[in-house]
Chains A and B, each alone.
Chain A
Amino acid sequence: MVKLTMLARVTDGLPLAEGLDDGRDWQDAELYKQQIKALFKNLSRGQNEPSRMSVETGPYIFHYIIEGRVCYLTMCDRAYPKKLAFQYLEDLKNEFERVNGSQIETAARPYAFIKFDTFIQKTKKLYQDTRTQRNISKLNDELYEVHQIMTRNVQEVLGVGEKLDQVSQMSSRLTSESRMYADKARDLNRQALIRKWAPVAIVIGVVILLYWVRKKIW
């Protein structure tokens, strides 16, 4: 059963539309909405995510597709057929692109396409019951291949961002530190050189000086 539906722009994580009465009679809605928002933020950071993915979270699962710089995300029960969920998102995508495709880039305020919620609500109802003839036929339809879609855990997904951040931080630290090390090494090298040859140079210098002085005086 579809619980939540959200659309956001991938480039900056700006929410574009949301299902109408999502979160009704349901305590944890806020928590999952937070997760979804975090997910959008992650996506907007430009991490190379596959354009179709499922993310497990608690008893639910997020399915999302990214197309045309818009992320279409829905949250379902785990038992809800993956195939139907993606079919649902596909439907949303087609309609959204048809209606608002040209304005997606220019949207400046959050929920600029909130009017889309009526369509979301309507479509959601069609997919609500998995046992309707329509949905069963869709399920049996092999047109849409969902087997390849990766399923990961939400902690992992949200964690990936953090971990990547950490790695890049560490590597950048490493780079800067190694550069420092190289500088220092070069410095040290020079000093060693000087230390090695300085006495010889001084001796030679003194000899030349003496030689010159003797010549001058005598």
Chain B
Amino acid sequence: MKTTGTENADRANFPQRPAASPFTAASQSTTPFLSSGPVVGSEAFAFRPAPPNAPQTTPSAPQTTRPYLSSGLMVGSEASGFRPTQPVRYNDPSIPRPPSSFVPPPTGTLQHHPTPQFFSTAQAPPPRTSPGQPVFPPPIRAPAGHVPSPPVYLHSQPQISSGQMGSPPQSINYVPSGRSVPPSSSDSLFSAPRSTLQPLQSAFPGYSSKSPNAVTQPPPVQSAPVFTHQGGYGPPPPATSTPFLAHQRGYVPPPPVAAPPAFYSREQMQHQGSGLPMGAVQGLTEDFSSLSLASVPGSLDPGLDSKVLPRPLDGDVEPKSFAEMYPLNCNSRYLRLTTSAIPNSQSLTSRWHLPLGAVVCPLAEAPEGEEVPIVNFATTGIIRCRRCRTYVNPYMTFTDGGRKFRCNICALLNDVPGDYFAQLDANGRRIDLNERPELTKGTVEFIAPAEYMVRPPMPPLYFFVIDVSISAVRSGMLEVVAQTIKSCLDRLPGFPRTQIGFITFDSSIHFYNMKSSLTQPQMMVVTDLDDIFVPLPDDLLVNLSESRSVVDVFLDSLPSMFQDNVNMESAFGPAIKAAFMVMNQLGGKMLIFQNTLPSLGVGRLRLRGDDLRVYGTDKEHTLRIPEDPFYKQMAADCTKYQIAVNVYALSDKYTDIASLGTLAKYTGGQIYYYPSFQSSIHKEKLRHELARDLTRETAWESVLRIRCGKGVRFTTYHGNFMLRSTDLIALPAVDCDKAYAMQMSLEETLLTTQTVYFQVALLYTSSSGERRIRVHTAAAPVVSELGEMYRQADTGAIISLFCRLAIEKTLSYKLEEARSSIQQRIVKAFREYRNLYAVQHRLGGRMIYPESLKFLPLYGLALCKSIPLRGGYADAQLDERCAAGHTMMALPVKNLLKLLYPNLVRVDEYLGKASSKPDELNISRLPVTAESLDSRGLYIYDDGLRFVIWFGKMLPPDIAMNLLGEDFATDFSRVILSERDSEMSRKLMEILKKFREIDPSYYQMNHLVRQGEQPREGFFLLTNLIEDQVGGMNGYIDWIQQIHRQVQQNA
């Protein structure tokens, strides 16, 4: 028996326990493990830092162990059973603990191990009272009257094979062994009981050292597992020991230590609001998660159940402790650090292995009520440090009676200008603190005085460069674009200063005179592409409010004007040049609608296409970089003149996004890619995204700089922008949907400060014509321990940086190398982490990783399977790859994580319910794997960029009928989901609308897919089920195992 038998035994025992249980006084449950996922957040379980000698219970207290709670699906179902027991209190011995369920880990197990020192300190006052009077030192209280409640036993695992525990000793395994009260029996269950004991013991040195004293203690001491077992058996023996102790000592009365196997993560303890001050706990605990991966010797079972693997089903979980530590910091939607603990030495940095840096989204949309306060230092001028130019912020300290302030970044003592002077109160705080948002808020906006302007604030300017070649007309693009622009004219920001202009092009370039006195626009055609010139000095770019009627007429007639155009050429390059010449006095946004591969004039591109032979060779990356230097040069010029370029690529053929995208990449713009655009299908998407692009609040002619404290320096910047000097990011236009990442390095070998401060400053012109400076300030502690760095890590920010680094790597290396670099860094980081703890805890065969990084492998896998990085030639079209790459370079953290690990939800049950309203929509996310798909269900897959609606084969026909009407039997590729006259259809549309509202930056188009309908199903859904093995790519389990193996090599 490979230990698994014990679990079977447990299972047999558990159900009986409640009934047979003679214990009525108290039931104590310890939960050695709670996996991540919903459980952690939602359940305030009986988690508490149970000191090793704590769970000494009275004989009548049944103790149930809950060694393992799996995450994911199981947890979800379990949760309901557990909820009632949630309220947990300590130091209330009289109240029984709730019995909780014991779910034998199917195969893999995850554990949170507190470090020994935590235990030793947490139990500092050993709760040992008089020998005859055992108490639970910090008993956990469950709702009263819960005592007899049966332990919820949940075990739905089909396979109990899970022998994996055998070889790597781990706490969970002991539990069962301990249960078998007669030691001999336990021996029989365990192949090597003795060996299993050791790790745990060594894990609690303090505890083992105490045990000898305790041995003689008369109080009935029982280990949790034993107790549960006893529950089944009848009256509990006076004292039972934890299995390992018993084994080792030959079953001497054990130390008053019971069931130490409960390991809690700090998060969980926080959740409970334990009596200990958070700070203390943080200082004392070292926690990590581990995953048992070893397979049973001789068994074919892979040894790992996919259900136990950590999954971010709650979406992005930001580290909380950071914000709690520094409440004055700006919100994490503006600035996220990859780890909130800055290493104090270069050697420490080199052991971190993950990127050290920040992700900045300077204009992130603030929810209602959290608007950024605006500060106007009209006469004083903006208060800044005179040496490092840091803006005044909450971390600046005022001294000398308020006459001086010390810069938090460079520590220089500055004079306070007379107008800004305020006295200090007894605590050294300025008496006017409450009226000064810049001294109390991490995010403020300053009104910039004239010194911050090289010219008067520019008006919002939109210039449209529209392809009118035959394919643009045929696909319906022209019509949709004209309609959308027209519908947005009233909502363009910056009325009444907004400027607008148009150029259309095919093989020649057409300018339009929009002078306000005209009744309809005059078209001027320039055919000389080699020496392009602007036919009119002005009136090509007009004030929208004045020329509104002309613009309206133009947009109305645009589709019909080129209705019969049969021109197939595209003078894309010259058109951009012309637009540049018109715009360069003011700057602004250039929106290019492109439908045909540029074929004439400068910047013409050839069909270098997806050459299969190039893949896998050293030349592979050249496909992903612009072919013609014209594009990069043009982008540089545009940035210089404050022009941002947004490219809408709608071609049905190869259009060399790699080249076109360069324009957007270096001007802070955006690429929108609509492969094979057909207005009947993509109309809504283009309309929504164009409207959003035109109407969202935009910051013009801006520059971004991030400052940080002495000794740290930002070295590399990643995203869509151009660097103006070494650390100044030039952004002709920036909006809430763009984020930028940067990496930092330590300049000095040793940091002496306690805290490092970061300040992001964005100087921009708002659409209303005000020059403003948005300042985000944050502080982070400096640490000397690697463990602390890992504990404070932020997976979202790390993945954001990984993503950008990997995509940049694909521009100069093979895809394979970009993928393996991600894997290598994850492996290195985990290996380093393992070295920190594994030896100490003898967790030989287990995979361990910090709690904060539990999703890192999954996101890493998702990243490797994301469109820009996945597979090879056949797995994604080159254009799609490049477009996705450009998009992902700019996505804010939350959107990126959603794209990497999409929402998969089942909706047919919800739709079937008669009364439910959309508000009650409470659909839990499912793991993104084919196993989650039930052929009787209807699922929505939402990655933030699109919806895939999957119809199971055995979906009740009435649902499909209700949703699709007559179309349900036809080919889904041509079916458009629209609202029909049925409750169900309305509900579905309601759901989709709600999902869209969550993330308005892109329009999620519906793709209907029927199970088994190839190749659509494969293309839209199956290749995107990132946990599955698709093509040559690993599934989640294989990936984890691969990482684990690599971690162990040379560990």
Contact = CB atoms under 8 A, between A and B. Distances in A.
Given A109-B447, A117-B456, A21 B497 contact: no
A14 interface: yes
A21 B585 contact: yes
A23 B586 CA distance: 10
A24 interface: yes
Contacts of B450: 14-15, 110-111
Contacts of B496: 115, 118
A23 B454 CA distance: 12
A114 B453 CA distance: 13
Interface string A81-115: 00000000000000000000000000011110011
A24 to B, nearest CB: 5
Contact of B378 (A17, A25, A108): A108
Interface in B853-905: none
Given A115-B769, A117-B459, A118-B546, A110 B586 contact: no
Given A115-B769, A121-B543, A24 B456 contact: no
A139 interface: no
Interface in A99-146: 108-111, 114-115, 117-118, 121-122
B449 interface: yes
A15 B456 CA distance: 9
A67 B545 CA distance: 29
Given A118-B496, A118-B497, A108 B447 contact: yes
A185 B543 CA distance: 74
A5 to B, nearest CB: 11
Contacts of A108: 376, 378, 447
B459 A20 contact: yes
Contacts of A24: 585
- Residue with the highest number of chain B CB atoms closer than 10 Å, among A14, A24, A111: A111
B769 A114 contact: yes
Contacts, number: 53
Contacts of A118: 496-497, 543, 545-546
A25 B770 CA distance: 25
- Residue with the highest number of chain B CB atoms closer than 10 Å, among A14, A18, A23, A118: A118
B650 to A, nearest CB: 32
A79 B545 CA distance: 34
Interface residues of B, number: 22
A109 B376 CA distance: 8
B112 to A, nearest CB: 54
Interface in A1-35: 14-15, 17-18, 20-21, 23-25
Interface in B426-474: 447-450, 453, 455-457, 459
A70 B596 CA distance: 54
A84 to B, nearest CB: 20
Contacts of A111: 450, 453, 456-457, 769, 771
A14 B378 CA distance: 11
B497 A117 contact: yes
Contacts of A25: 585
Interface string A32-50: 0000000000000000000
B456 A21 contact: no
Interface in B533-549: 538, 543, 545-546
A106 to B, nearest CB: 10
A69 to B, nearest CB: 17
Contact of B546 (A21, A115, A122): A122
B540 to A, nearest CB: 12
Contact of A110 (B453, B459, B543, B545): B453
A108 B456 CA distance: 15
Given A110-B771, A118-B496, A18 B456 contact: yes
B420 to A, nearest CB: 16
A111 B585 CA distance: 18
Interface string A161-196: 000000000000000000000000000000000000
Contacts of A109: 376, 378, 447-449, 770-771
Contacts of B456: 15, 17-18, 111, 114, 117
Given A24-B585, A108-B447, A109-B449, A114 B457 contact: yes
B497 A115 contact: yes
B460 to A, nearest CB: 12
Nearest to B494: A115
Nearest to B772: A109
Contacts of A17: 456
Nearest to A121: B543
A217 B496 CA distance: 112
Nearest to B451: A110
Contacts of A115: 496-497, 769
B539 to A, nearest CB: 9
A108 B381 CA distance: 11
Interface in B668-695: none
A118 B544 CA distance: 10
A144 B225 CA distance: 105
Contacts of B543: 118, 121
Interface in B299-328: none
Contacts of B497: 114-115, 117-118
A197 to B, nearest CB: 54
A211 B1047 CA distance: 121
Nearest to B456: A18
Contacts of B448: 109-110
A48 B30 CA distance: 87
A115 B499 CA distance: 12
Contacts of B457: 111, 114
Interface string B161-174: 00000000000000
Nearest to B452: A110
A110 B449 contact: yes
Interface string B542-572: 0101100000000000000000000000000
Nearest to A113: B769
A35 to B, nearest CB: 16
Contacts of A110: 448-450, 453, 771
B461 to A, nearest CB: 10
A25 B456 CA distance: 17
A14 B546 CA distance: 28
Contacts of B378: 108-109
A33 B769 CA distance: 20
A4 B771 CA distance: 21
A149 B414 CA distance: 49
Contact of B586 (A18, A21, A114, A122): A21
A105 B769 CA distance: 19
Nearest to A25: B585
Contacts of B538: 21
Interface in B473-498: 496-497
Contacts of A14: 450
A158 to B, nearest CB: 19
A145 to B, nearest CB: 32
A111 B497 CA distance: 13
Contacts of A15: 450, 456
- Residue with the highest number of chain B CB atoms closer than 10 Å, among A17, A110, A122: A110
Contacts of B453: 110-111
B768 to A, nearest CB: 9
Interface of B: 376, 378, 447-450, 453, 455-457, 459, 496-497, 538, 543, 545-546, 585-586, 769-771
22 contacts: A15-B456, A17-B456, A18-B455, A23-B455, A25-B585, A108-B378, A109-B378, A109-B447, A109-B770, A111-B450, A111-B453, A111-B456, A111-B457, A111-B769, A114-B456, A115-B769, A117-B456, A117-B497, A118-B496, A118-B497, A118-B543, A122-B546
Q: Which 10 A-B residue pairings sit nearest by Cβ, starting from the closest?
A: A110-B450, A18-B456, A108-B378, A114-B769, A24-B585, A21-B585, A109-B447, A111-B456, A118-B543, A114-B457
Given A25-B585, A117-B497, 13 more contacts: A15-B450, A17-B456, A18-B456, A23-B455, A108-B378, A108-B447, A110-B449, A110-B453, A111-B453, A111-B769, A111-B771, A117-B456, A122-B546
